[in-house]
Amino acid sequence: MGSSVSLFIALEGLDGSGTTTQSARLAAWLRNLGHTVHTSCEPSEGPVGQLIRASLRQKPGSPDRSTLPWLFSADRADHLYRDIEPALAAGTIAITDRYAPSSLAYQSMEIPMDQVYVLNATFRVPDLVLFHELDVDVALSRIGSRGEAREIFEHRSQLARVAKHYREAMAYLDARGWPITTLDASLPIEDVTLAIQAAVTALLPTSSEA
């Protein structure tokens, strides 16, 4: 059944909101239903993505933070045309952990939202954006329990600002017709997974169409 469904799904949310876990669970569920699935993330594994990670960790010799709006946009072009578009053309369900809404949320803290939007305006709009909404303190405690070196965006005051900008970014994209489903990411993992499955099921062909 259903192997040639082409869908583009993006998962979004604060650091610690569970997008990586839910991407993997969504991919596994879809594969189990017989679909071909491609998973990826942003910053991507490509050369621009690596520059971005170095910059976020403020590694000596890495690009200045002021370059991030352009680097994320360049990385997105690379990710989209090298990776996602070929997958979609082959009739695959492409799931990305973060996409343009992340730029609207994070880079709008540095330059106006309209400018970030313009930098991303030519990129494909996903068929579904799954926004994991999460309280800042819950996000921070989850990040803390991972025990990884914290990146610059992962400090509380910064995270609270990101949360505000995320809500604004989602309203901005919603007003421009982006298909956004908001999830309560403070719920247990399994409940969030079920909510995601319900949203994605609505986009899958019914067995009579497949």
* Least CB distance to ligand TYD at residue 32 (A): 25
Is 56 a binder of ligand TYD (CB under 6 A)? yes
* Least CB distance to ligand TYD at residue 143 (A): 9
* Least CB distance to ligand TYD at residue 14 (A): 8
The answer to whether 41 and 50 have CB atoms below 8 angstroms apart is: no
* Least CB distance to ligand TYD at residue 4 (A): 29
Is 98 a binder of ligand TYD (CB under 6 A)? yes
Is 160 a binder of ligand TYD (CB under 6 A)? no
**DSSP secondary structure letters along 104-141:** HHHGGGTS-HHHHHHHHTTSPPPSEEEEEE--HHHHHH
Is 15 a binder of ligand TYD (CB under 6 A)? yes
The answer to whether 133 and 185 have CB atoms below 8 angstroms apart is: yes
C-alpha pair distances (Å), 202 with each of 115, 193, 196, 205: 33, 15, 10, 8
Residue closer to ligand TYD (CB basis): 31 or 65? 65
Which residue from 10, 26, 72, 159 is in contact with ligand TYD, where contact means CB under 6 A? 72
Is 166 a binder of ligand TYD (CB under 6 A)? no
Q: How far apart are the first and last CA of the chain?
A: 7
C-alpha pair distances (Å), 85 with each of 7, 88, 118, 200, 210: 11, 5, 20, 20, 22
Applying CB under 6 A, the residues found at the interface with ligand TYD are 15, 42-43, 56, 72, 98, 102-103, 106-107, 151, 153
